[in-house]
Amino acid sequence: MEETHEPKKHSEKEEIEDGLSSKTEAPHLPEFTFKNVCNDIINGVIALFMDPFCNAIVVPILVVFTSIACKIVIANVKYTEIDFKTYMQQIDMINDGELDYSLIAGDTGPIVYPAGFVQIYQWLSWLSSGGEDIPVVQSVFGYLHTLTVLLTCCTYSLVGDVQPWAYMLIVASKRLMSIYVLRLFNDCFTTACMVGVTLVLQAASYWFDTLGSTLVFLLTLVAADLYSMAISIKMNALLFMPAFLIVVYFLCMENILKLLAVILVMVLVQVMVGWKFLLVLFHDEDANYLRMTYLQRAFDFKRSFLYEWTVNWRFVPEEYFTSKLFANFLLVCHISVLIFFVISRFFSSKITGKSLVTLVKDGFKPFNTIASTNLYVNKKQGPKLILLTFATTNTIGVLLSRSLHYQFLSWYCWHMPFLLYSTGWGPIISGAMWAVHEWCWLTFPSTIQSSAILVTILSFTLATVWHRGENWYGS
């Protein structure tokens, strides 16, 4: 009888072990050739510019680079005296007991900034022996610049998908470096505060579900404190006001009472910072005079600008530039463009989760009315929306400002790379736009061509960012 052979049966354990061994086999690696090594290097360089995963490498390098660059510039480039000496003269008068803002002045003019400016420059005066030790002050501004770069990178990181080339543009401005460590303008402190405000509100949005309404509300109070301090240093921070109120309103779950509490904190901070000049506890005639003089001089909305210093309106004839008609025209345009962005983007039903009519009606209700689909409190889209809202609102204000002086670049340079990234133009076109934009600010004195190109770039960038729906609603 013929013997039959049955196939050998493997136990289940052996089959699992065979499967695991096959899965753990070493992957096939490409050959070690000169061509493959070159391709790896090229791909690595491209990733450093294009892959958001590489931001963890790029950001520390940029922060260290900024710190070193500041030290090199301070050591090798001559300091340029513009207004710092005047600031110190004004501080000396205040330290000597002068409280009348109409009498406090220096070589280049009277004091025109609120009490937050006074307190910062009093500290700088103390630190530098009355402003004599300029390198010490330059070092402070160098550290301030480095801190601002770090905070800006953090705001970009919370967006999540920003490519490294946009981060690199943050440190690519020669004019901005000059404003910080060679000019020592107070605008730099206001900018640091505003980047901090944006970051705090982004964090509140990112962890909205985790923290709960109480802790989120406390974060909005922290942001209000920081924002009010920014205003007390220089009034250009008011350009962010529409964005701040809108974002805080949504983070407060559309509770108007909480929003009013946030505004109250801002007012109280202004009172505390300006206590010396407001003389809150005194009500005699002299106190009233000093109080009103401070408010009128420190928060002067009718201040005129010199045509010779304008960066953005050189192509406008001087007689028209200095006219009240031109000022009113810019104001109307500013308000109109803001309203357009508010209605079509910030308050869009795709973002707020409700119609504009419902949103307005809910605003009069003294309790939480926020929709669960509101993107401002969405972990993925919220931080991006907040940065977009702040960046576009401020850029609208910059574009339609009465005049831009050279130090005013610090007002918006920190979020300009993000706006260029949000246009979708890509690194080559965006980089070219940045280079031309930088040329406009490096041209001194400004020309008809440089100012016209600057206004065109800002306008075109804003229009493109507005048009790209995925910026606002997500992909």
Q: Per the structure block, which two tokens stand in for 247? A: 């974002």
pLDDT value, residue 10:
54
**Cα 59 from Cα 151, distance rounded (Å):** 11
Residue 14 domain-assigned (yes or no):
no
pLDDT computed for residue 445 by the predictor = 93
List CB contacts of 311: < 8 A, sequence separation 6 or more. 403, 404, 405, 406, 408, 440, 441, 446, 450, 451, 454
Residue 157 tokens read as 């990181």
Q: Does the residue 84 lie in any domain? A: yes
pLDDT the model gives residue 1: 41
Q: Is residue 232 part of a domain?
A: yes
Counting as low any pLDDT under 50, the low residues of the chain are 1-4
What is the total count of domains within the chain? Answer: 1
Kindly report the average pLDDT of the chain as a whole number: 93
Say what the pLDDT of residue 44 is: 87
At 16 the pLDDT is 53
Domain membership of residue 11 (yes or no) is no
Please name the residues in contact with 262: beta carbons below 8 A apart, sequence gap of 6 or more: 220, 221, 224, 248, 252
**Angle ∠(97,98,104) on CA atoms, nearest 5:** 145
Look at residue 2 in the predicted model and tell me its pLDDT. Answer: 46
- How many whole angstroms separate alpha carbon 125 and alpha carbon 99? 18
**What is the reported pLDDT for 399?**
97
Q: Which residues constitute the domain of residue 251? A: 44-473
| Residue 291 lies inside a defined structural domain of this protein | yes
127 belongs to a structural domain: yes
Residue 5 lies in a domain: no
Q: Do the domain assignments include residue 132?
A: yes
φ/ψ of residue 445, rounded to 5: -70, 160
For residue 94, CA distances in Å to 87, 89, 348 come to 11, 9, 49
- Which pLDDT value is given to residue 120? 98
- Going by their DSSP bridges, the two strands 105-106 and 109-110 should be labelled as antiparallel
